[in-house]
Amino acid sequence: MKILHLISSPRGEASFSIKLGNAIVEKLQASNPGSTVKTHNLANKPFPHLEEVHLNSFFTPVENHSPEQKAAIKHSDDAIAELQEADVIVIGAPLYNFNIHSTLKAWIDHIARAGKTFSYSEAGPEGLVKGKKVYVAISSGGVYTEGPV
């Protein structure tokens, strides 16, 4: 089993979403001996916010890419390749100012590519990366559920 673990808390050892994500990864490894884990700390090494060059690279045919567009699309191509390679994705998603951390949003902006990871059909948008299991390790200061059931 190939596990991809994404961290987006900037709080390092104090982070609850990292602790929870690690606990999920450890359980997966225990029940699937020989699993490999790739960890990305998006808060320490963030993906760039989408700029014009990224968008142009997404919508320009590869054979017409300028050197700048080639460099710009690499972030996205690499992230998508990693996603496609993984069987299980563990996403640490702490709540900051009523939203996910901006480094996680930046990663999502690079892996959401029309025609590559999703497409539009008459039935609406359809995900093209199939057969993955995703665990989201959410941490927050507030309580947004009615508690354990």
Applying CB under 6 A, the residues found at the interface with ligand FMN are: 9, 11, 15-18, 94-98, 139-142
Cβ closer to ligand FMN: 14 or 123?
14
Say which amino acid occupies 139. S
Least gap, CB of 105 to ligand FMN (angstroms) = 14
Q: Which residue is nearest to ligand FMN (CB)?
A: 94
Distance of CA 6 to the CA centre of its chain: 6
Cβ closer to ligand FMN: 102 or 117?
102
Q: Phi/psi class of residue 67: alpha, beta or left (left: φ > 0; alpha: ψ in -120 to 50)?
A: alpha
Residue 60's φ and ψ, nearest 5 degrees, are -110, 135
**How many degrees, rounded to 5, is the angle at CA 102 between CA 52 and CA 80?**
65
Query: In angstroms, rounded to a whole number, what is the distance separating the alpha carbons of residues 89 and 72?
Result: 24
Say which amino acid occupies 47. F
Helix axes 67-85, 52-59, angle to 10 degrees: 70
